[in-house]
Chains A and B, each alone.
Chain A
Amino acid sequence: MKRKALQLVLCLCMIFLITGMIILPGFIRESFAAEPIKIGFIGALSTPYGASNKASLEISIDEINKAGGIMGRPVELITEDWKREIPLAVAAYKKLVMKDKCLIVFTEGTEGSTACAQLGARLYSTYPHLMFSFWSAHESLMDLVGNEYNKYKFMFRVYSNTADSYNPAFGFNDFFKQTVGTKKLALLIEDIGWTEVYRNGRPGVYPTLKEYLEKDGIQVVYEGKTDIKEKMFLPILEKVAASGADTIYWVTGYTDTVTLVKQWDQSPAKDMDLILMSGAVSYAAFWKMTGGRALGVTAMWPEIPIPFTNKSKPFLDELKARGSGLLASTYGAYDGPWILKAAAEEVGDFDVEKLIKAIEKGEFRHSSWIWAFDKRHEPKKGYPYLPNIMGQFQEDGRYIVVLPQKLIEVTNPKAKYVRVKDLRKRAGQ
């Protein structure tokens, strides 16, 4: 009797064991597979950039999850607010990498990205992870990767940088010579850290912007530096008008472009073409901000919905529905998670070293241009890679793409750059 009971118990144990051996690995695999891939974002959420980047990342991750996640694993976004304060950015980075175990962290701002990169380099051996930086234009940022590859290889920039102005693929000089038809240029540069390379050059690497333009046959007849806090632009514009220039190229970022354009419209320089680099001028709402005085003004990274691929429109519609603006960093924020997905699916693994190699070697395209990275982990430039997009305000505030040609063809094929004085004539001004 005892023996039979023992045999029965042994039989039952064997059945449980075999069942367990069959079911358990699948169960474990399924549980593991369900573990989300975490993506961190450290953003200044009160700024238009931070809000746009957050919305773009959210849309991107929602779409990836709807498409089955990354290799069957769902993706989770964890957002931290750094309020543009280094201590908060560093605390957030530690949390995202060490506690939340994020596979990749998106960082904002040159100073924020620099601080996070310093910490990331120390964390990397214990906590391997990736870092994508945007809204960080300082050209020297990626020197970190260029100079100390093994220490900073985890870091990529998904954004343009100030030195792109010297990149022939960006076509700045051709834009002045061929599109605008500039003969004599007035060059004004806002006097702040990020424009240092334009004002002083970088010995042995980059000339000053004036030297670069002149070397390429553009005559710079007036050169000046302007304070970012400047509100009275009329005296400068009067000098510019007296210089005989036909085009003004004003390197702006922090400058009050709304006031600048309003005063330009009333100054003796109002018939001179005005090309601004960035700032509020990039927003479509700039037309209303200036009360329609921005007629003919041209800027980089215009807020124009460009149909790069068939994925662009759904994304831009959703971004608009969420009330967020389309800014220079939006493309990197939206495409970033898709780059990770493509790289992970290519290597079939989440091993960070393998992912770095895959991102370095690969070419990725989703909603905008082809993302491919050079040795310094800078994105390659010139369409179909990261382009220099220029937009011009024309009648009724229509913001049209005027550079590069390929994007003009897909966005506004019938429109083209028109010189300011011709636009004014057309508008009966």
Chain B
Amino acid sequence: MVKIEHKRALLVFRFGDKKFEWPIETRYWRNPILGVAFLALLPVIFSSHPDILSLIATANIYACIAIPLAWQMTGIGRLNFGPQAFVGIGGFTAGLLSIHLGWGPWATFPIVIITGILFGLILSPLTNIAKGLYFSLVTLILPLIFLEITYYFGIFKGETGLFGIAPMISIGNIVAELIIANYFSLIMMVLFLFVVVKVFDSRIGLYSAAINDDEEVANNLGLNIKKWKIICFVVTSVMITLAGWFSAHYFGTFAGVTYLQLPFMLKILMIVMIGGRGDVYGAIYGAYFIVILEKVLTIFGTANYLLFPLILLILLFTLREGIYGIYRKHKYREYYPTIRVRKR
């Protein structure tokens, strides 16, 4: 009989007199590598299930939004309620370029990055001007304004959305195309994960933590908080913009009604909260959890419309630090970036 014990950062397996220990901290890179290897196997395992392949890609796209958002929430010390505005910027930029100029995904890619930087810079002063709840309110409104714009200006094609966007890959074999596109989504997510983990481990991560803990103290200690907040906001915004770019080319269509509405924002915030607030790895668990839960619940028919938010609400109350927090409870050494909404 195998006994499994959870000891702080270790999983201990006992089989008779024998004992095997497995460190489960993510800083031991073998664990993330194993996790990524597992995710890399999924497209192969589900190669004959195109719907599941599509859901895996969707989970990866959601994670691509949630991972940079986790960094942004720490790095600017504010809760962004409108990350989907940048998903929209990326998606519409890619879509419009593809439709009107016939550009493929690799041609639209640099322009999407430039557009992301531009809009990130334009909106970045908000990180210094709007504090606490005001920032959350402003960011909440931004995608809704953008949604109205997509209705009012014919170029965005309203609720129909843009269509005829060049596919992510075109090699003449649809099954292979879907699997390759799936790997693209995984590669993008892993790259985002790698970048953000490295940032958190670096001096910039320390700056982010300092800003998140107390901006004034960080400022008094000599940190140029305005500069670092702008850098954080712009970089993470560009990353989220790329999630929009991927969505547009992956689905071949992009509609504001899908990505700019409140339910989509709630889903992303749920991913962040369920995965673990301010946590990078948690964003991946959260994304896969939400996508799987949403799909599984459809077997209950129309009841799923009630069950889905109900389960999420219960989880929000019971798992205050998200799924990843179950493990974190046993691990006190690392800095844990809590998200605070300050009054000032």
A: residues with CB less than 8 A from B are 45-46, 51, 80-81, 83, 85-88, 90-92, 94-95, 98-99, 110-111, 114-115, 117-119, 122-123, 125-127, 138, 140-141, 144, 191-194, 196, 200
List B contacts of A91 (CB < 8 A): 50-52, 54-55, 58, 295
Option from B52, B158, B294 in Cβ contact (under 8 Å) with A196? B158
Option from B160, B258, B305 in Cβ contact (under 8 Å) with A141? B160
List A contacts of B298 (CB < 8 A): 80-81
Rounded to whole Å, the gap between the CB of B334 and the closest CB of chain A is 34
The 5 closest A-B pairs by CB, nearest first: A193-B158, A95-B51, A118-B252, A94-B50, A91-B54
List B contacts of A85 (CB < 8 A): 258
What CA separation (Å) do A330 and B164 show in the bound complex? 29
Q: When the two chains form their complex, are residues B174 and A122 in contact, meaning their CB atoms are under 8 A apart?
A: yes
Q: When the two chains form their complex, are residues B49 and A114 in contact, meaning their CB atoms are under 8 A apart?
A: no
Option from A45, A115, A138 in Cβ contact (under 8 Å) with B252? A115
What CA separation (Å) do A92 and B50 show in the bound complex? 9
What CA separation (Å) do A33 and B158 show in the bound complex? 46
Nearest residue (CB) in B for A100 is: B51
List A contacts of B253 (CB < 8 A): 86, 111, 114-115, 118
What CA separation (Å) do A86 and B261 show in the bound complex? 13
24 A-B Cβ contacts within 8 A? A46-B302, A46-B305, A91-B50, A91-B58, A94-B53, A94-B54, A95-B51, A98-B174, A98-B175, A99-B49, A110-B159, A111-B258, A115-B251, A118-B163, A118-B165, A122-B167, A122-B174, A122-B252, A138-B159, A144-B164, A192-B151, A192-B158, A193-B158, A193-B159
What CA separation (Å) do A138 and B151 show in the bound complex? 13
Q: When the two chains form their complex, are residues A119 and B51 in contact, meaning their CB atoms are under 8 A apart?
A: no
Query: B115: CB under 8 A from chain A?
Result: no
What CA separation (Å) do A88 and B297 show in the bound complex? 13
Per-position binary interface string of chain B over residues 92-136, scored 1 when its CB falls under 8 Å from any chain A CB and 0 otherwise: 000000000000000000000000000000000000000000000
List A contacts of B213 (CB < 8 A): none
Nearest residue (CB) in B for A85 is: B258
Interface of A is mostly: helix
Rounded to whole Å, the gap between the CB of A140 and the closest CB of chain B is 7
A87-B61, A115-B252, A118-B163 given; 8 more Cβ-contact pairs under 8 Å: A88-B294, A91-B295, A111-B258, A115-B163, A118-B164, A126-B174, A140-B160, A196-B158
What CA separation (Å) do A81 and B305 show in the bound complex? 11
List B contacts of A119 (CB < 8 A): 251-252
Query: B48: CB under 8 A from chain A?
Result: yes
List A contacts of B61 (CB < 8 A): 87
Query: B257: CB under 8 A from chain A?
Result: yes
List B contacts of A110 (CB < 8 A): 159-160
Q: When the two chains form their complex, are residues B301 and A45 in contact, meaning their CB atoms are under 8 A apart?
A: yes
What CA separation (Å) do A95 and B302 show in the bound complex? 20
List A contacts of B165 (CB < 8 A): 118
Query: B23: CB under 8 A from chain A?
Result: no
Nearest residue (CB) in A for B259 is: A86
Given contacts A91-B54, A95-B49, A123-B174, contact A86 B304 (CB under 8 A): no
Rounded to whole Å, the gap between the CB of A302 and the closest CB of chain B is 24
What CA separation (Å) do A86 and B161 show in the bound complex? 11
What CA separation (Å) do A81 and B175 show in the bound complex? 23
What CA separation (Å) do A230 and B51 show in the bound complex? 39
List A contacts of B52 (CB < 8 A): 91
Rounded to whole Å, the gap between the CB of B164 and the closest CB of chain A is 7
Nearest residue (CB) in B for A227 is: B148
List B contacts of A192 (CB < 8 A): 151, 158-159
List B contacts of A138 (CB < 8 A): 158-160
Rounded to whole Å, the gap between the CB of A11 and the closest CB of chain B is 46
Q: When the two chains form their complex, are residues A94 and B178 in contact, meaning their CB atoms are under 8 A apart?
A: yes
Q: When the two chains form their complex, are residues A111 and B53 in contact, meaning their CB atoms are under 8 A apart?
A: no
Nearest residue (CB) in A for B165 is: A118
What CA separation (Å) do A88 and B292 show in the bound complex? 11
Given contacts A45-B302, A99-B49, A122-B252, contact A114 B258 (CB under 8 A): no
Q: When the two chains form their complex, are residues A114 and B161 in contact, meaning their CB atoms are under 8 A apart?
A: yes
Rounded to whole Å, the gap between the CB of B268 and the closest CB of chain A is 13
Q: When the two chains form their complex, are residues B157 and A193 in contact, meaning their CB atoms are under 8 A apart?
A: yes
Given contacts A91-B54, A94-B178, contact A194 B159 (CB under 8 A): yes
Rounded to whole Å, the gap between the CB of A48 and the closest CB of chain B is 11
Q: When the two chains form their complex, are residues A95 and B163 in contact, meaning their CB atoms are under 8 A apart?
A: no
Rounded to whole Å, the gap between the CB of B301 and the closest CB of chain A is 7
Q: When the two chains form their complex, are residues A86 and B258 in contact, meaning their CB atoms are under 8 A apart?
A: yes
List A contacts of B140 (CB < 8 A): none
List A contacts of B58 (CB < 8 A): 87, 91
Rounded to whole Å, the gap between the CB of B106 and the closest CB of chain A is 18
Given contacts A45-B301, A111-B258, contact A86 B251 (CB under 8 A): yes
Query: B154: CB under 8 A from chain A?
Result: yes
Nearest residue (CB) in A for B258 is: A86
Per-position binary interface string of chain B over residues 131-160, scored 1 when its CB falls under 8 Å from any chain A CB and 0 otherwise: 000000000000000000011101001111
Rounded to whole Å, the gap between the CB of A260 and the closest CB of chain B is 20
Query: B255: CB under 8 A from chain A?
Result: yes
List A contacts of B301 (CB < 8 A): 45, 81
Per-position binary interface string of chain B over residues 249-265, scored 1 when its CB falls under 8 Å from any chain A CB and 0 otherwise: 00111010110000000
Give the interface centre of A85, A117, A191, A194 by most chain B CB atoms within 10 Å. A85
List B contacts of A123 (CB < 8 A): 174
Rounded to whole Å, the gap between the CB of B139 and the closest CB of chain A is 21
